[in-house]
Amino acid sequence: MPLSALALVLAAALLHALWNIVAKHSGGDQRFAFIAAVQLSVIWAPLGLWMGWGVVTLWGWREWAAVLASAIVHLLYFTTLLRGYRLADLTVVYPVARGTGPLLSATGAVLLLGERLSPLGMVGVAGVVAGVFLIAGGPALWSQVHDPAQRERVRRGIRYGALTGALIAGYTLIDGYAVMVLMVSPILVDWFGNLLRIPFLLPGALRDRAGLREAWRTQWKHALVVAVFGPIGYVLVLYAMRLAPLSHVAPAREVSMLFAALIGGRLLGERDRGLRVAGALCIVAGVVSLAA
């Protein structure tokens, strides 16, 4: 992986960890997703319209199909993630999601996009996933199953984390195809994809207008962080896909777990410093293997 692509991925990972911590704090649901989508559309409209001027009219059905598919999968991803954060601990949902995503993304890139993963790349993927597991709590994660309430909470976290990870792999492959094969601008993929999500969210938001107003009053600042930093981080990843194979970029994104552990230690509830350090070292080693 070129150093330029690695730098983009590391910056994106930091932004990803930040907005996920904020989203967890918000406790939001689909109304939060709607507010964030509207804010994102307005804030990034000048750039999206400028980049799309004279370009979008040349899109064929493949480009529009890819952007629409991206919008739907992103919508399912974000609403699933928010629900997982409401029903389970971030320390379970986030690591499982970020660990499942790269495995499926790298596998899909090899099987569907014809990429090759070298033995060293395989070691890198394994290092990232092992690090994610250790930061989540390692074997101690399973020791909680003796408490029925905690057991159910952990199970919910694993279920929603795995589903979120599968959706991450889905939109990563779709967006990777859009920017690498169809040569659609990453900025247009992200902005138009977000714009197409709003009609799907609008009916649910309008069914409870009082709840929507209350969500706006209490969560608009959290949504604003997601609307500003989310697109920046993801567009950096899409540009990195143009510089390096998707099967390397997708796992390298998981260094966000290191940033989340360092920045949101109390929120993540990771008390075992030794496991966190070991997990961080595994992630670093995995990223270095992918970069090599």
DSSP string across 208-227:
THHHHHHHHHHHHHHHHHHH
> If you compute the radius of gyration of the chain from its CA atoms, what whole number of angstroms results?
19
Amino acid present at 88: A
Nearest-angstrom CA–CA distance, 165 and 92: 12
Q: What is the pTM of this model?
A: 0.78
Alpha-carbon 212 to chain mean position: 25
Nearest-angstrom CA–CA distance, 109 and 209: 42
Give, for all 292 residues of the chain, the pLDDT tens digit: 788 888 888 888 888 888 888 888 788 888 999 999 999 999 999 999 998 898 988 999 999 999 999 999 999 999 998 898 888 877 778 777 777 766 676 677 777 767 777 788 778 778 777 777 776 666 766 665 566 676 677 778 878 888 988 898 888 889 989 988 899 988 899 999 999 999 999 998 888 888 899 999 999 999 999 999 988 988 888 888 888 877 677 777 777 767 766 666 555 554 555 666 677 677 767 766 766 6
Alpha carbon distances (Å) from 184 to 108, 156, 178: 20, 37, 6
Query: Which tokens is 235 given?
Result: 């567009």
Query: Which tokens is 65 given?
Result: 């199909």
Task: Name the packing angle between helices 61-87 and 90-112 (round to 10°).
Answer: 150
